[in-house]
Amino acid sequence: MKAVDRIKIRGFHVDAFRHVNHARYVEFFEDGRWAYAELNQHVGDLFTRLQKKGIVHMIVNINIDYKKGAVVGDTLRIETDLMKAGSKSYVMSQKAFIGETDTPAAEAEMTNVFVDRKAEKVIEINEEIMSGWPELAGLLREG
């Protein structure tokens, strides 16, 4: 289920060129992923259970396309959704729209994996993960 988060652009978000600095979008998109886990509580619960076992999820690749500068006073509408999954990774799609328009400020794809911290290796998306995140399991079964 897609999560929607809103962030009001303040003075500390912009750089000398008076638009949101590219690095800030990484933070905005992080906030959007937290909103996704809160909206889809079963995902947050899964992450908590896995973390207790020493398994964490982490981003291994970030691709951001910048479309239009956002400035102080704008509100960004961050939309986050699960996009695709493979046997060892999943991709979150994130879009930052200016206000309630369909004008994108930035679009991103974040590739994530699950890592066994003790073994220091990426693990496959297994039954425990799929049972805790049915939407992810659905994408794996489709693919």
Domain boundary assignment for the chain: 3-142
Alpha-carbon gap, residue 79 to 4, rounded angstroms: 5
* pLDDT tens per residue across span 34-66: 999 999 999 999 999 999 999 999 999 999 999
pLDDT at 69 over 70: yes
Q: Does the pLDDT at position 143 exceed 90?
A: no
The residues, any chain, with a CB within 8 Å of residue 134's CB and separated by 6 or more, are 42
For residue 15, indicate whether it is catalytic.
yes
Q: Which pLDDT belongs to residue 142?
A: 84
As a whole number, mean pLDDT of residues 105-127 equals 97
Left (φ > 0), alpha (ψ -120 to 50) or beta: where does 137 sit?
alpha
Pick the catalytic residue from 5, 15, 74, 116: 15
Q: Tell me the pLDDT of the chain averaged across its residues.
A: 95
Say if residue 129's pLDDT is above 80.
yes
Fold held by 3-142: Thiol Ester Dehydrase; Chain A (3.10.129)
pLDDT value, residue 51:
97
Evaluate if residue 141 carries a pLDDT over 90: no
- The percent of residues above 70 in pLDDT, for the chain, comes to 99
